[in-house]
Amino acid sequence: MTMPEFALGEYETEETDAMLDELVEADGEEFTERRRGRSRGRTPSRRPGVAEAQRNGQGIKAINDRINALDSKVDQTVRAIAHNRAAVRRLEKLGKLDGALDLAAGFTFDSTAGSLNVDLLQVIKGLLKSGFLGEPKGALGNPALVGGAGFVAKNPGIIGGIFRRP
């Protein structure tokens, strides 16, 4: 007789069932009993690590789905920002071109008198819009000062009236 046949012949099924029942109670139901028809078999339950791994895998999948949804929203936002920046650059360029035309309109040549007339307000307006005077910082960024300079440029006689002695 070989060793495995000898070992199987020694065990009684009732003793084995009782021993397995005691193990189930002692190990916190690590093994469960399941009946299939008339046969009585024991199958091990899932190990705790397997359930945790499945739960973690489902959590990771849910997080990846959320990240993918956010990723597409970020892509849409980046495209919209790029489109808006291009539109702003275009508007800035059009503003500078408008300022250059205002600057040119500030100078008129009178062919009959042979003289050049300068509209100081129009020239200041063109210089500011086209950016020839630099960025609107300091005094150039103050609307009150720019408006006052425009008022004086439009009414040049006012300076003489302010500084005239009574």
Residue-wise DSSP of 42-79: EEEPPPHHHHHHHHHHHHHHHHHHHHHHHHHHHHHHHH
Q: Could you read off the pLDDT of 68-124 as tens digits, one per residue?
A: 889 989 999 999 999 999 999 999 999 889 988 988 888 888 888 888 888 888 888
Q: Could you read off the pLDDT of 146-159 as tens digits, one per residue?
A: 888 888 888 877 77
User: 100: closest CA among 69, 132, 72, 68?
Assistant: 132
User: Domain ranges in the chain?
Assistant: 49-163
